[in-house]
C-alpha cells in the first residue's frame, strides 16, 4: 500500500516536472496537446459508459420513456400549466400525443405489473379528461 502511494506521488512529481519543463522551454503546445488528448480520452470514456447503459435497456424501458415523453408533451400542447405553456396550445398535437400514449399503453399492458398498469391507465384517464376540458 505504501509502495502504491509512493509510486503515485512520484508520478505526480514527474507530471509536474514535465509540465514545468514544457512551459519553461516554450512547450505550451505540448501541454495543450496533452490536454486535448486527456479530453478526448474522457469523452471516449463517457461514450463507453453511455453505450453500456444503452445496452442494458429493454424495449419495455424504451416504451415507458416514450410514454412519459408523450404525456409531458400532451400537457404542454394542452397549454398546461395555464400561464406557462399557453403559447404551445395546439389541439391536433395534443390529441396525437394522447392517442400515441393510448396506443403504447395497449402494447405494454401485459408487460408491466398490476400497479404500473393502474398508474398508466390513470395517467391516460387524466390526459383524456384534461383534453376534453380544454378542447370541448
32 and 69 housed in the same domain: no
54: number of Cβ within 10 Å: 9
Domain count, the chain: 2
| pTM for this predicted structure | 0.66
Q: Give the pLDDT of the chain (136 residues) as one tens digit per residue.
A: 666 667 777 777 777 666 665 554 455 555 677 777 777 778 888 888 888 888 888 999 999 999 999 999 999 999 999 999 999 999 999 999 999 999 999 999 999 999 999 999 999 999 999 999 999 9
CA 29/CA 97 separation, integer angstroms: 53
83 and 130 housed in the same domain: yes
Domain extent for 124? 59-134
94 and 70 housed in the same domain: yes
Amino acid at each position: 500500500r505504501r509502495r502504491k502511494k509512493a509510486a503515485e506521488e512520484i508520478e505526480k512529481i514527474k507530471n509536474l516536472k514535465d509540465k514545468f519543463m514544457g512551459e519553461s522551454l516554450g512547450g505550451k503546445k505540448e501541454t495543450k496537446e496533452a490536454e486535448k488528448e486527456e479530453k478526448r480520452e474522457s469523452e471516449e470514456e463517457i461514450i463507453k459508459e453511455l453505450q453500456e447503459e444503452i445496452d442494458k435497456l429493454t424495449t419495455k424501458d424504451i416504451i415507458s420513456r416514450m410514454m412519459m415523453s408523450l404525456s409531458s408533451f400532451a400537457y404542454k400542447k394542452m397549454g398546461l400549466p395555464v400561464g406557462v405553456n399557453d403559447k404551445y396550445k395546439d389541439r391536433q398535437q395534443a390529441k396525437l400525443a394522447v392517442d400515441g400514449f393510448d396506443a403504447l399503453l395497449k402494447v405494454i399492458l401485459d408487460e408491466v405489473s398490476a400497479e404500473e398498469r393502474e398508474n398508466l391507465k390513470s395517467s391516460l384517464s387524466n390526459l383524456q379528461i384534461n383534453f376534453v376540458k380544454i378542447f370541448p
